[in-house]
Structure formats: structure tokens, C-alpha cells
Amino acid sequence: MDKISPDRVRNAVRAYWDALAKKSKGELADFYAPDAIVFMADTKRNEPAKLMIERRNREFFDVQGSASAQPGEIEVHIPGPHVAIATYSYHFRAIRIRNNVRVQIDMPNTRATQVFRLESDGALRLIHEHLSASKYPNITVLGPEEGR
């Protein structure tokens, strides 16, 4: 079985955000273990990762939608041979449709805690994710939705 290393976890974090930016639903889903739980910055309670992926698909993977994040320094703690915890701040930007209006979301002050588990197939998968923001997002109305 492969080993967990801080560099491997940092690479997984960057690949995770790249998958979101590329709108790759399958690639994004593969980052999560089947039993993964997430707690998003814009929700009031945790939810299974499968539900969150479907919501992201609707919100950001639309033709007119987008999402990206620029992680800051990624701290990695390895409390055991099969678990790693990544904590970092990041700047999140997105364009999505709300009530038939395109809006731009800018969240410069966000934090992430992601708990990875080393699976028997050698893959690092998220088992817990907590994303939070210290301030309300900056939202700019871009105009009415086009092409629908």
C-alpha cells in the first residue's frame, strides 16, 4: 500500500480544486469516499458528499457557470498511517445562476479542513470536508441568464 506524505496530500488538494475548475463531475466525485461527509460554507448542516456533488453540478458546472480556488499554504498533519488532515485558507470565485440571474461570487477569506483516508487501492479519498468563510461573500449581479 502507498504511504501518505505531506507532498502527496498537498498535490491531492490542488488536484481537487483543479477538478472543480475543469467542471469534471466524475473526477471531483472520485476524490470522496462513499461515506464522506461535507460541511459547506453556504449550508447550515453537514451532508453526504454525494448530495454536495450534485448541488455543485447544478450550481457551477452549467455552461455559464464556473468555480475556482487559489489555495494558500497547505498545512498537513498525519495522525496515523492511513489518515491525513489538510488545513489551508483559499480564495474562492464562482459564477452561477440564481433566480435566472448570473451572479459572480467572490470569497477571499475562506478556510478548508479536509480529512483524507488512504484507501486499500492506494488512493487518497476525502472522508470529511469542512469549508467555511469568515465574511459574507461579495456578490455581483452580472445580468440575466442567457440562452434558456
Amino acid code (one letter) for 89: S
The answer to whether residue 1 sits within a structural domain is no
Q: Which pLDDT band holds residue 13 (cuts at 50, 70, 90)?
A: very high
Say if residue 148's pLDDT is above 70: no
How many whole angstroms separate alpha carbon 114 and alpha carbon 40?
11
The answer to whether residue 121 sits within a structural domain is yes
The answer to whether residue 28 sits within a structural domain is yes
> So what's the pLDDT on residue 118?
96
Cell of 130: 469542512
How many whole angstroms separate alpha carbon 26 and alpha carbon 32?
11
Q: Could you read off the pLDDT of 110-124 as tens digits, one per residue?
A: 999 999 999 999 999
> So what's the pLDDT on residue 112?
95
Q: Could you read off the pLDDT of 20-56 as tens digits, one per residue?
A: 999 888 898 999 999 999 987 666 778 889 888 887 7
Q: How many structural domains are present in the chain?
A: 1
Which H or E element spans position 6?
Answer: helix 6-21
- Top pLDDT among 144 and 54 is at 54
CATH number of the domain residue 70 falls in:
3.10.450.50
- Top pLDDT among 47 and 100 is at 47
Q: Which range of residues forms the domain containing residue 69?
A: 6-144
Residue 25: phi, psi to the nearest 5?
A: -60, -45
- Top pLDDT among 21 and 59 is at 21
Its pTM stands at 0.87
> So what's the pLDDT on residue 147?
46
The answer to whether residue 37 sits within a structural domain is yes
The answer to whether residue 39 sits within a structural domain is yes
